[in-house]
Amino acid sequence: MPICGKWERLVNWAEKEGNSAKALEFKEKLVECVVYTAYEKVRKKRLEEAEELIKYGRDVAKKFAIEELGFHLSLIEKEVARIRERRKAAAQTR
């Protein structure tokens, strides 16, 4: 289970119970978890882990129809691509 799986389980639970207010609250927490954790992975240059989290985020964004999450993940993907390009350019100049 991914690091943010706790929030995904809580969203599922709230939706099954018909508690839309709690479901929304847990969706917000899920978005925060995915976005902040992915940014942290990028900051630490752990790009593979960040990409795994991005993939997980895309899956839950689709599953729960969270458009906001897709926007944030696109920004993180761009940052990962920039870092990879810098690494590639640095490797070519060696």
Over the chain (94 residues), what is each successive 10-residue block's mean pLDDT? 88 97 97 97 96 96 95 96 93 84
Confidence (pTM): 0.89
Assess contact for 39 and 32: CB atoms under 8 A: no
Provide the greatest CA pair distance for the chain: 59
Query: Which residue segment(s) compose the domain that 33 sits in?
Result: 5-93
Specify whether the CB–CB gap between 41 and 50 falls below 8 A: yes
| Distance in angstroms (rounded) separating the CA atoms of residues 72 and 83 | 17
Cα distances (angstroms) measured from residue 39 to each of 2, 12, 35, 89, 90: 15, 25, 6, 23, 23
pLDDT given at position 3: 87
Angstrom distance (rounded) from CA 61 to CA 76: 15
Which residues, 6 or more positions from 61, have their beta carbon under 8 angstroms from its beta carbon? 67, 69, 70, 73
CA distance 61 to 82: 24
Domains: count for the chain: 1
